[in-house]
Structure 1
Amino acid sequence: MSTIAEFRIPATDLALADAFDRIPDLTVQLESSISRTVPSMWIAGDEPPAVSEALAADDSVAGAELLIETPERLLYDVEPTPETRTRFDRLLEADATVLDATGRSGWWQLEMRFPDRNALAATHDRLDEAGTAIEIVRVSQLGGRPTAHPRLTPEQREALVAAFEHGYFEIPRRTSMEELADELGISHQALSERLRRAYETLVDAELQPAGEYAP
């Protein structure tokens, strides 16, 4: 039975460690794509010139091209060096599939699907033998009742936590959307979009039929 695993790996053992050091607020999310040899990554945390400079100076990156620029984040094609590609290949040797990968504060959080628990164990042992520090966060069986949390982005999670802590969901509200946006240092429109997408993710997870898991 397929196994879903969430785990953390230090960026020093995977990719973009230098970039995370140069830009402390850097957030990176792997873009889902089909039949691509160069991974695309959504990156936030600084202006395009600073991000491009950080990627160019990172030892794990062979090349990077800015594809899309939005007010909140940037989409880059990021070409890994051969050594970095080898590190990723170790993750995939057991016919594993990366469902989600997010980098922040010098760590990568990954969600992956393995053919079974033996394949997960083999991958863990292979990474351990290579000297990669791996911290398993959660393991669940595909087809069992979901135990993993919905895949909120770090920005969505931050917005929800701030809204809860500042009483945005209370009746009457203790803060307004404008005040909450100022607290987070983003626009009213950006906050509204983050909360809307977070609501959609949470509702979708809640309405999944029991016994099913939607990666």
Structure 2
Amino acid sequence: MGTGEQSPADGSGSTPDGVRAGVAIHGTTNCPVVAASTVHDGPITGVNWTHAGDTHTEEFRARDPDAVDRAEGVPEAASVVDLGDERVYRYDRPREGECACRIIEELDCPIADARAEDGVLLLTLHLPNLQRLRDVVSALDGTAERVEVRYLVQGAARGDGVSDRTLVDRGRLTDRQCEVLRTAYRMGYFERPRDANARDVADALDIAPSTFAEHLAAAQRKLLEETLAAN
């Protein structure tokens, strides 16, 4: 295109309404970088990979070389380049076994960024819609203990054609607040009419109704702050 202008991938000329999602995968198996992150001080970053035949080659950046050497379940990694405050490593292994990143790629979903910290695989994905995100989470079922959507940036065009983006950062919620929200949602507390009242949800959580109300109010306040802060 000689004008230098770029058209949307669908050629429609409309503003895309896809999502940017931060996904945390807990307890994933067959991931040496995640294994190394359990003994590494700080995140392991710059994770990327390539496939050639039956060989999977992976590269990553680490600030603590000793941690990489003593990590269990990590193939022998070769130091590629020293960048001063961190070092780039590369290792090869067979393309076998379940791998969270490969599962996502097989859904035709490129991974924008990958890192690992404290045994958790952290991925950034750009997806066309929320249903695609649900597909990713569903595909990972059985390969990890838990999949958490830590933040979500959703783009949607308003009537004037200006993009209206909302950021929801679930990382602001405590584990207990997330559990309360999930249980209340699953039991139909937010339906109209409600399928469960506050006491029903509190009993399911084995807490007092007043405690349920406190957790719910705190979680809702945080989510509203995220949603309405820019308004």
Matched, 1:41 2:54: no
1:22-171 map, 5 Å: 23-31=39-47, 38-44=57-63, 46=64, 48=65, 50-54=66-70, 58-59=72-73, 61-83=74-96, 86-142=99-155, 144-147=163-166
The structure with the greater share of residues assigned to helix is 1
Q: Could you report, residue by residue, the CA deviation over 1:17-36 in whole angstroms, capped at 9, with x for unpaired residues?
A: 43233x24142112568898
Give the TM-score, by structure 2 length: 0.50
Equivalent residues of 1:94, 1:119 under 8 A apart: no
Percent of residue pairs bearing the same amino acid type: 18
Change (3 A) 1:31 1:125: closer
Match of 1:18 in 2: 35
Alpha carbons of 1:146 and 1:120: their partners in 2 closer, same or farther (altered >3 Å)? same
3-state secondary structure, aligned to 1:8:
strand
Aligned length: 142
Instruction: Tell me the amino acid that sits aligned with residue 141 of structure 2.
Output: D
Runs of 5+ unmatched residues, structure 1 = 150-215
Deviation at 1:113, TM superposition (A): 1.5
Unaligned residue ranges in structure 2 (runs of 5+): 1-16, 157-162, 169-231
Deviations 1:71-122 (A, max 9, x none): 3111112335534663321122221111112211222221111233222111
* Structure that is richer in strand per residue: 2
SS at match of 1:18: helix
3-state SS in 2 of match to 1:123: helix
Q: Would you say the 8 A contact 2:27–2:145 is kept in 1?
A: no
Partner SS for 1:27: coil
* In 1, Cα distance between equivalents of 2:30 and 2:40: 17
Whether the 8 Å contact between 2:114 and 2:123 is mirrored in structure 1 is: yes
Higher radius of gyration, 1 or 2: 2
Distance, in Å, in 2 between the alignment partners of 1:53 and 1:140 is 37
Q: What are the Cα deviations for residues 178-210 of structure 1, in whole angstroms up to 9, with x where unaligned?
A: xxxxxxxxxxxxxxxxxxxxxxxxxxxxxxxxx
Deviation (angstroms), 1:132 = 4.1
Confirm or deny: 8 A CA contact 1:24 1:105 kept in the other structure: yes
Say which SS state the counterpart of residue 128 (structure 1) adopts.
coil
Amino acid at match of 1:58: E
- Counterparts of 2:75 and 2:37, CA distance in 1: 16
Q: Tell me what 2:20 maps to.
A: 4
Partners of 2:115 and 2:166 in 1: CA distance: 19
Equivalent residues of 2:45, 2:60 under 8 A apart? yes
Structure 1 residue 124 displacement after superposition: 0.7
Q: Are the equivalent residues in 2 in contact too, given 1:67–1:75 (CA < 8 A)? A: yes
Q: Per-residue CA shift, 1:53-81, capped at 9, x if unaligned?
A: 23xx532x444221111331111123355
